[in-house]
């Protein structure tokens, strides 16, 4: 697998000179890998859109044919049209396109194990993310974290015949892919019953994505696993959701406040706010089935923002907010190094009695790209504390040690803190007193900017409310 990744990635550096960035490159791979595997599987494509017709051309004729091929495929129905919707060639030099075709043509992709094909694709996404803030890093959640959350949540389609799971901000599909891989591992790779295999292929995995490129990558990523998911294209927050409800929701909504200049007009949102992360929490509460469970990645400001207490009050009344994981600093290195993040776990339909918090941040060396990367060991103890039951109903051990990272807070204590979950703290972080452990200056700036953006967003929301009140008075 690593050889495949290195070979394809090595050519990406060549294409940089042709003006093709990492994200563009992976997107073009998406198109070409699909066409190659369709040819290997004898899948019939529209006339003049097959792999042999493409790979046998060269020069200007190749470039023109590729542009026309993408346009025709984007007009098709079903998965084919979804993958190629709005597709455009990014190649300015037909020689580079011809070289990439040759690299792909030399590999018989359908002969590779499904895991190897998908791992190669995942490897390219991870490499793109590690190269900086552009490209796949905008949509990439560390796979180590994803796998930890999946092991805790246990999204098992064998539970019942109507089982579904969703990621309403799916990016490149990491949660959906890892959930499927977890099932394959749980069944020890054995043959699945025919009815289960059919459900898995087209009726189990759902998602939504606001940006076309990552949506396309999700479709391709899952296609490499033999799945045909339902990935809607649109804004999960500002659009009224369908009546579809899910047993499991796992998601990492986008950080920041960009685009969050007004509160969505949705009847199912009890609290009107322009805070994107708080709105995603309300959205997840809506789309869960009664008894359904969720794991949502949120930044720290989501836990202490002005209206956070109001949203979490409702969450604790309508759901069991049973677990909060405070993630290590730098978890989202390299593309969002200064963002402090958490994961909240809740089950719909049960009032919160106790909130268990695991502090994986205090006195833990900051994650860095090279010297101290994120590893599975960062979450081994948390997984043990979480327990075997995905709804957190397994008996949890209480420790009297003030240094223990695992602590329970009764709902009364949460209420005393005005439902500001960020206030559920007990460990003194000695690293804050250590000059060697302080964040890099650019990370401190990023933190400050994030807080300023949040404050500006809240002020804009207040101004909008005042304007509405003024208009209402004037109308009288």
pLDDT tens for residues 128-176?
666 544 444 455 788 899 999 999 999 999 999 999 999 999 988 889 9
pLDDT tens for residues 439-463?
555 555 555 555 565 556 556 656 6
Residue 134's pLDDT is: 47
Residue 127's pLDDT is: 67
Residue 189's pLDDT is: 76
Residue 418's pLDDT is: 94
The values of phi and psi at residue 383, to 5°, are: -60, -40
Question: Can you count the helices (H) and strands (E) in the chain?
Answer: 17, 9
The values of phi and psi at residue 356, to 5°, are: -90, 130
DSSP reduced 3-state for 77: coil
Mean pLDDT of the chain: 84
Q: How many CB atoms lie within 10 A of CB 163?
A: 19
What's the DSSP call for residue 19?
T
Directed axis angle between helix 212-223 and helix 174-186, to 10°? 20
> Which tops the pLDDT comparison, 464 or 77?
77
Strands (DSSP E) contained in 43-191 are: 165-167
Does residue 312 contact residue 321 with C-beta atoms inside 8 Å? yes
Closest listed residue to residue 327, CA positions, set 342, 339, 338, 337: 342
- Mean pLDDT score, 270-289: 94
2, 22, 288, 291, 411 from 124: Cα distances, Å: 10, 9, 32, 37, 44
Burial label, 433 (beta-carbon count in 10 A; 0-12, 13-18, 19+): exposed
- Mean pLDDT score, 373-402: 88
Beta strand pairing call for 205-209 and 341-348: unpaired
Residue 92 structure tokens: 């300015």
Q: Name the CA dihedral angle for 196, 197, 201, 205, rounded to a multiple of 10 degrees.
A: 40
pLDDT tens for residues 3-56?
666 777 777 766 776 777 777 887 888 788 888 888 887 878 888 899 999 999
- Mean pLDDT score, 320-344: 87
What's the DSSP call for residue 418?
T
- pTM for this entry: 0.82
pLDDT tens for residues 396-412?
987 655 568 999 999 99
- Mean pLDDT score, 426-448: 61
> Positive or negative, the Cα torsion across 440, 445, 448, 454?
negative
Q: What percent of the chain has pLDDT over 70?
A: 79
Does residue 273 contact residue 462 with C-beta atoms inside 8 Å? no
- DSSP of 155-216: --GGG-TT--EEETT-TTTHHHHHHHHHHHHHTTTPPPPHHHHHHHHHSSEEEEESSHHHHH
Distance CA 321, CA 312 (A): 9
Closest listed residue to residue 301, CA positions, set 334, 354, 234, 255: 255
Q: How many CB atoms lie within 10 A of CB 236?
A: 25
Closest listed residue to residue 284, CA positions, set 272, 269, 267, 271: 269
Q: Which residues contact 372 (CB under 8 A, 6 or more apart)?
A: 330, 365, 366
pLDDT tens for residues 173-214?
889 999 999 999 999 878 889 999 999 999 999 999 998 878
Residue 117 structure tokens: 């094909």
Residue 192 — left, alpha, or beta (φ > 0 → left; ψ -120 to 50 → alpha)?
Answer: beta
Residue 215's pLDDT is: 87
Distance CA 330, CA 152 (A): 22
Q: Is the pLDDT of residue 290 over 70?
A: yes
């Amino acid at each position: 697998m690593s050889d495949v990744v290195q070979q394809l990635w090595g050519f990406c550096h060549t294409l940089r000179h042709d003006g093709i960035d990492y994200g563009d490159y992976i997107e073009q791979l998406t198109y070409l890998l699909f066409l190659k595997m369709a040819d290997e599987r004898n899948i019939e494509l529209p006339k003049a859109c097959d792999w042999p017709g493409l790979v046998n051309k060269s020069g200007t004729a190749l470039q023109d044919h590729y542009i026309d091929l993408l346009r025709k495929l984007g007009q098709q129905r079903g998965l084919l049209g979804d993958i190629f919707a709005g597709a455009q060639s990014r190649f300015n030099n037909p020689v580079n396109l011809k070289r990439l075709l040759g690299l792909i043509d030399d590999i018989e992709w359908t002969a590779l194990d499904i895991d190897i094909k998908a791992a190669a694709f995942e490897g390219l996404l991870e490499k793109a993310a590690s190269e900086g803030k552009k490209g796949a890093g905008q949509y990439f959640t560390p796979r180590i974290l994803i796998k930890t959350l999946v092991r805790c949540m246990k999204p098992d389609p064998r539970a019942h015949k109507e089982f579904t799971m969703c990621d309403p901000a799916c990016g490149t599909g990491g949660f959906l892919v890892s959930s499927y891989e977890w099932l394959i591992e749980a069944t020890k790779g054995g043959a699945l019953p025919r009815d289960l295999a059919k459900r898995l292929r087209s009726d189990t995995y759902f998602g939504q994505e606001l940006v076309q490129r990552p949506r396309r990558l999700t479709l391709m990523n899952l296609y490499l696993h033999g799945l045909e998911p339902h990935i809607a294209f649109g804004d999960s927050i500002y659009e009224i959701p369908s009546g579809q409800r899910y047993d499991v929701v796992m998601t990492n909504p986008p950080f920041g406040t960009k685009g969050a200049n007004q509160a969505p007009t949705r009847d199912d949102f009890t609290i009107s706010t322009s805070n994107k992360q708080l709105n995603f929490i309300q959205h997840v509460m809506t789309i869960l089935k009664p008894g359904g469970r969720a794991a949502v990645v949120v930044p720290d400001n989501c836990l202490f923002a002005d209206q956070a207490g109001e949203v979490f009050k409702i969450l604790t009344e309508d759901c069991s907010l049973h677990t909060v994981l405070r993630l290590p600093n730098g978890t989202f290195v390299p593309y969002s190094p200064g963002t402090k993040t958490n994961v909240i776990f809740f089950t719909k339909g049960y009032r919160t009695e106790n909130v268990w918090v695991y502090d994986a941040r205090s006195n833990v060396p900051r994650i860095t790209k090279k010297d101290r990367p994120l590893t599975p060991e960062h979450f081994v103890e948390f997984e043990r504390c979480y327990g075997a039951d995905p709804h957190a109903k397994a008996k949890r051990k209480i420790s009297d040690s003030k240094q223990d990272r695992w602590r329970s807070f009764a709902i009364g204590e949460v209420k005393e803190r005005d439902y500001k979950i960020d206030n559920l703290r007990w460990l003194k972080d000695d690293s804050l007193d250590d000059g060697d452990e302080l964040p890099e200056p650019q990370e401190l700036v990023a933190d400050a900017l994030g807080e300023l953006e949040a404050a500006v967003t809240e002020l804009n929301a207040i101004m909008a409310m005042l304007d509405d009140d003024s208009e209402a008075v004037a109308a009288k």
